[in-house]
Amino acid sequence: MYLPFIFVYSLGVVTRKSLSELAYFALLFAAVTVMMRPPRATLKKLGFLLGFEGLLFVLALFNPGRPLMETPLGSVTYEGLHSFFLLIGKAFLSAGTAVVITSSVGFSRIIAEMEALGLPRILTVTLAFTYRYLDLFAEEAVRMKRALDSRAFGVGRREYYRWLGSMIGEIFVRSYQRNERVYRAMLSRGFGEFPKLEEPRTTPHTAMLIVLALGGLLI
């Protein structure tokens, strides 16, 4: 089972207090990536995840401490640089491991493991619906962006971004309405609840991963 490994691994990562302690988990992440052999598209997701988290924690570079270099936004400090890499390391390793495993074994396998662990049925069904509706959300966003580009030809940049902001708010409304139509269509075809998924088993290599993650907690 991969879900216990993800939980133990993430717990170990977020409780580390230095970059040297994260080195063990970074090696374990690399080993998981090689072992799982995720699709090539997963590497693009990891790159996007790393860039997003870098922007999210960029302000940590300006934490008070010994100045390293001056920028228009303020002084980058040694302490800030350490905090930045520690934060981004924790976030990327924990989230990246979940992305690699989910992309390799499939989200339905994760849902099945949640059911096998006895998590509430309403939680697993909600997650399954959320995962399914992400595609509808992305499809609706692409359709509205295409419509905006076809109608905004020749307008100024400021006006274009004003329309784009309005479109982002409209996406959530349209996605909700379309999700409602899809759900009603499912009910009309006899949908009651998701079928019982096959119960996953703990294999030797998943047990080994859990043991390695537990070993990291002792570092």
CA nearest to 84, candidates 54, 110, 111, 113: 54
pLDDT above 90: percentage of residues in the chain: 11
CA atoms of 200 and 104, how far apart (whole Å): 15
Mean pLDDT of the chain: 81
* Placement of tokens 């390793």 in the chain: 93
Tell me the pTM: 0.70
Q: Which amino acid is at 84?
A: F
| Mean pLDDT, rounded, for 108-131 | 78
Q: Give the pLDDT of residue 93.
A: 92
Strand pairing partners for 76? 69
* Cα atoms found within 13 Å of the Cα of residue 65, Cβ hemisphere only: 14
Instruction: Pick the more confident residue, 25 or 199.
Output: 25
Task: Give the single-character DSSP code of 200.
Answer: P
Instruction: Pick the more confident residue, 12 or 196.
Output: 12
| Residue 140: how many other CB atoms lie within 10 Å | 21
| Residue 77: how many other CB atoms lie within 10 Å | 20
CA atoms of 121 and 107, how far apart (whole Å): 16
pLDDT tens, residue by residue, 3-49? 888 888 998 898 888 888 889 999 999 999 988 888 888 888 898 88
pLDDT tens, residue by residue, 135-164? 777 777 787 778 777 776 667 777 777 777
Phi-psi region of 106 (alpha: psi -120 to 50; beta: other; left: phi over 0): left
| Mean pLDDT, rounded, for 41-65 | 88
